[in-house]
């Protein structure tokens, strides 16, 4: 135990740390039931419960994201009440304690992690390292994901057409909106880059009659998608394979329509030009490409070595949407439409969080406790980031110009919604 902690009462340390705090009231409770309140003793939004003396000590000695996140994952730190309120508290702590000593410690941890990754899997965003990163994130048991994603196994921002719509319907809406924005028609050759467990290619084939092909780096996703295709008896219209997008130019065909949903974040800034260039070359002239991906606010600094990026999304990188659009145009794309679905993603994440909490007993039969708690933290923290506007999710519709014929996009946005009736989910794992 630190000498600072021994010779100073926790009350005095907390009063000093939070002397400028004016946000939502909260409380702190230690392992021996000692309590401290930021202001309102009767109505704290949440309580930070430190289950070990060392965890509370670390709040003062190593008050950074990694320390607090690891304490939560170990179960040494618990949040009772509104976990989303805890993120404003964490933001205050990080800003209040962002001194040189803390920056040096965080930088040292970052360099150590990157060195270990370099020795284990190679350079950031190399073919081998990207495959390893995708495997770490997606090659968990599909029952883990299905429990909180729902029957569609759609893993990205849902699309809520009204304020009462549930997650399952909203995820089907998302699939349908992508197909409508792409103006998918019977017989179109459609490619899904980073196809997940096959939800979009199944929807494109069943609802729009397209010839749909998906590629993924995850062995588990490819296996599950193949089983779903077989179960739906869509083997003549739907296919999936293990393939890196950088190897996609070897495919024996070109496509009228392409989508990439939730994969853009894994590409890496240095590879964005190659990514958009490959999508451009895979499209037939006049074809459409919809890129659905998360971007950070231009005013929000990049965070390549946060706890979440190391433990949930290895090597994930977010760039401002303006940067992505500039690169897309530079390789030849025309920007046809863009929509920010930030509020939709916050709501999606909050519903995922509720599912994770509600089905904890079932989930813990498929993954260990530290994995479950890591995902709780990731989902809640992401919802908080979307709420603040630090990050957003954009659907960008791009076209490969064709001077010989008109583009296949509607001239009015409302054309995308004509005749769109609520659909019942048809997909299952």
> The whole model's pTM is what?
0.88
What are the φ and ψ backbone dihedral angles of 193, each rounded to 5 degrees?
-85, 115
Q: Is 174 left (phi over 0), alpha (psi -120 to 50) or beta?
A: alpha
Q: How far apart are CA 144 and CA 139, in angstroms?
A: 10
> Which uninterrupted H or E stretch holds 232?
none
| Contact (Cβ atoms closer than 8 angstroms) between residue 153 and residue 427 | yes
Name the architecture of domain 3-96: 2-Layer Sandwich (3.30)
Would you state the pLDDT for residue 324? 97
* Cβ-contact 397, 409 below 8 angstroms: yes
**Alpha carbons 416 and 410: distance in angstroms, whole number:** 7
CA dihedral (48, 347, 266, 274) positive or negative = negative
Strand 189-193 vs strand 255-261: parallel, antiparallel, or unpaired? parallel
First-residue to last-residue Cα distance in the chain:
50
* Tens digit of each residue's pLDDT (9 = 90 or more) over 117-136: 555 666 666 777 766 666 66
Among candidates 271, 261, 323, which has minimal Cα distance to 296? 323
Q: Average pLDDT of each block of 10 consecutive residues along the chain (429 residues)?
A: 52 91 92 88 90 90 88 96 94 74 52 54 68 69 94 94 92 96 96 97 97 96 97 96 96 97 93 97 97 94 73 84 98 96 97 97 95 95 95 97 71 84 50
CATH code for the structural domain at 135-417: 3.40.50.150
What confidence score (pLDDT) does residue 425 get? 44
What tokens appear for 164 in the block? 């009462």
What tens digit of pLDDT does each residue of 71-128 get?
A: 999 999 999 999 999 999 999 998 886 554 555 455 555 555 455 555 566 666 677 7
The residue extents of the domains of the chain are 3-96, 135-417
Neighbours of 43 (CB within 10 A): 10
- The domains spanning 3-96 and 135-417 adopt the same CATH topology: no
> Rounded to the nearest 5 degrees, what angle is found at the Cα of 289, between the Cα atoms of 206 and 417?
55
Residue 428: the pLDDT is 43
């Amino acid at each position: 135990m630190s000498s600072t902690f021994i010779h100073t009462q926790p009350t005095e340390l907390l009063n000093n740390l939070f002397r400028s705090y004016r946000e939502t009231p909260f409380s702190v409770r230690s392992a021996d039931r000692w309590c401290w309140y930021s202001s309102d003793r009767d109505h704290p939004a949440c309580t930070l419960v430190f289950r070990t003396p060392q965890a509370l000590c670390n709040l003062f000695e190593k008050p950074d994201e990694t320390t607090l996140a690891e304490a939560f994952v170990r179960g040494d730190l618990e949040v009772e009440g509104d976990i989303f309120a805890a993120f404003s508290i964490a933001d205050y702590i990080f800003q209040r304690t962002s001194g040189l000593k803390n920056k040096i410690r965080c930088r040292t941890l970052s360099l150590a992690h990157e060195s270990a990754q370099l020795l284990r899997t190679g350079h950031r965003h190399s073919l081998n390292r990207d495959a390893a990163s995708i495997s770490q994130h997606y090659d968990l048991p599909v029952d883990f994901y299905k429990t909180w994603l729902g029957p569609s196994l759609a893993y990205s921002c849902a699309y809520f057409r009204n304020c009462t719509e549930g997650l399952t319907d909203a995820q089907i809406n998302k699939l349908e909106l992508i197909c409508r924005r792409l103006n998918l028609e019977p017989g179109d050759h459609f490619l899904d880059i980073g196809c997940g467990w096959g939800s979009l290619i199944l929807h494109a084939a069943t609802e729009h009659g397209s010839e749909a092909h998906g590629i993924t780096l995850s062995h588990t996703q490819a296996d599950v998608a193949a089983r779903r295709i077989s179960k739906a008896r869509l083997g003549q219209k739907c296919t999936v394979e293990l393939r890196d997008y950088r190897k996609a130019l070897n495919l024996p065909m070109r496509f009228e329509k392409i989508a990439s949903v939730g994969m853009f974040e894994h590409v890496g800034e240095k590879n964005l030009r190659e990514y958009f260039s490959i999508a451009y070359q895979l499209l037939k002239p006049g074809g459409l490409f919809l890129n659905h991906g998360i971007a950070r606010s231009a005013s929000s600094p990049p965070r390549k070595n946060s706890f979440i990026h190391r433990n949930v999304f290895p090597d994930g990188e977010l760039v401002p949407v303006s940067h992505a659009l500039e690169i897309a145009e530079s390789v030849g794309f025309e920007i046809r439409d863009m929509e920010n679905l930030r509020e939709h993603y916050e709501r999606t994440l909050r519903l995922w969080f509720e599912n994770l909490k509600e089905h904890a007993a079932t989930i813990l039969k498929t993954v260990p406790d530290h994995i479950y708690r890591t995902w709780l933290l990731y989902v809640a923290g992401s919802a908080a980031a979307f709420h603040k506007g630090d990050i957003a999710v954009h659907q960008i519709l791009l076209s490969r110009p064709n001077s010989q014929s008109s583009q296949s996009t509607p001239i009015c946005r409302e054309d995308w919604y004509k005749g769109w009736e609520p659909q019942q989910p048809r997909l299952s794992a």
